[in-house]
Structure 1
Amino acid sequence: MKKFISIIFCILFVSVSLPISSFANDNNIGFTIQPELPKNQKDKKVSYFDLRMKPKQQQTIYVRISNTSNKDGTFRFRVNQAYTNKSGFIDYAEDITKKDESLRYDTKNIISYKSQVRVKAKSVKKVPIKIKMPAEKYDGQILAGIQVMKEDDSNSKKESIKNQYGYILGLRLTETDESVKREIKLVDVKPAVSFARTSVVVKLQNPTMDAIGHLKYKAVVTDRETNKVVKKVSYDKDMQMAPNSTYDFAIDWDKKPLEPGDYTIDLTVSDAKNNKWNMKENFTITENQAEQVNKVAIGKVPEKTDWTKWIIIGGVILLIIVILLVIWYRKKNSPHQVRK
């Protein structure tokens, strides 16, 4: 039987302002992790790596794994670059292979580590992670999450679910305290299925090396032909964008089918630092796009009545009626025949 994977994460790096929850006790998952904070830890009050680095600097940092279970364990390591997830928040749980074109420093080129380690039962092991900083000096930050997963060593063929448990530990690399001018760009607008619903999706880009938090969104979609507002939404959920990332901002069509046509979107994004970005873009929903999205999100969409054939049939019937009326009229008004 095909095995499914159940994953439980304890996120230790959750906000754009980088607050960290305290390390949970074992949590019944059989292990804990803890960073060994080095001397160049910038903020010593937090429980994640917040390192002040220099260009070309090489450094090894350590994560301690405490295997509290009665069995030896295998642990998988992965360092994931920060990205903006589909809900509009900074995330580290996945290894995004397609990075944004604005990304200057990929963590894959900066950070190296063993992808798998073995820790004996009731013991602690220090796992090294090597950092090699870029040669160029930069302002801003490189954000990543150190993901530690415990593999299920069960070899039972009858088992249909394979459990994995893990933590994500934050890693922030900075070189200066210089502020970075924030920027958000509109890249594209298109109809799409988002969260299994009919939507218009706006692809937004944060091309800077700064994490942006407390974002609020207001969008108005107008039909260009009628100048009528067809959709108006507002999201005030303190959303976020990771450095050098994109976010697909989805405007939910409230389970209604998309209609083909020419539209304009007026989108305003603001943050807590009084930055405001107003973006306006024309876009088109073609008949084919509307049909494809509606079929996936709604199911079988009732076909629009084709009135052409009914107009032709009606025209033919009307013509026949006119001809019959003309014949009747002529017969009625024709001279009387001479009787014999």
Structure 2
Amino acid sequence: METTVKNKQVILRNYVKGIPKESDLMIITASDPVELKVKPGSAAVMVRNLYLSCDPYMGILMREPTPSTLALLDAFIPGKPIAGIGVSQVIDSDDPSFTKGDMIWGIVNWEEFSTINPAAIFKIDVNINVPLSYYTGILGMIGLTAYAGFFEICSPKKGDTVFVSAASGAVGQLVGQFAKLMGCYVVGSAGSKQKVDLLLNKFGYDDAFNYKEEPDLDSALKRCVPKGIDIYFENVGGKMLDAVLLNMKTYGRIAVCGMISQYHLETRDRLQNLPDIIFKKIRMQGFASYDFIDRFPKFLEFVLPYIKEEKLAYVEDIVEGLENGPAALVGLLHGKNVGKQVLKVA
């Protein structure tokens, strides 16, 4: 039986300036073969990676770290594999909580085989009949992000008007559906006709628009939400946020999940309408999913029945082969994906 293997990896060449390019990442085969056993006493777990999650925050971690970005997560290291959420199968374990054959999800390097700290992984209940790839998204940190941002920060009420930017993406598609389940009126923006059609015909949004075809975002919002916005789930930032502030209602709530339009600009957009936060007494809060990790069991109790009853639609964009990882990740940062971007390793 094979005891060592060659390990293919996705490596960051150098810190990135501007929007990452495929050439900023490279595929290598590590020079040292990987032992398919963990050292006794190490408490480590050896896994074969099956699916890897492509997420916008990963572009931030490709840049040279600043005090601001280090408050989020540690930056990737040039010459080393990048990392993110993955779904994996246990090959060997020195932790009694995990045994050979277990399916897990958690933080792993972008490579075929990883040795990981079991404190950073969760065991998958294979009796839940869903695709394993769901644990990179709807049943993992993506789902928790949508749940916590919407319910914990925005405190929705039946009849609220909800606006979601990047609404067809991994998080946005769930937020909109959660809002509909709560009896809210839901509007979304996306970057193509195909994505707008998804919002209206698959995710149940009440209205939607393609922001790339709108010369005036303020006018687009006034057309779609003439009475104003109670809740804004923010994924974009910049000009979209500025227009939304003009259209928020008094005591509106904004959950700031992402600002993808701003991450890779050398000079970020200047906002004109920030005083509206004061005038309208708006509550605006940034957050990350791990701020709410203690809510994860509560989230699963909420979401699993809806998945089983097929009351939640979920769209994935799966790319196969680790060698296609750079194209998948960079394509996500340019909005080329439709739904949750996932990389199938083999």
TM-score, normalised by the number of residues in structure 2: 0.24
Which structure's CA Rg is the greater one? 1
The structure carrying a bigger helix percent of its residues is 2
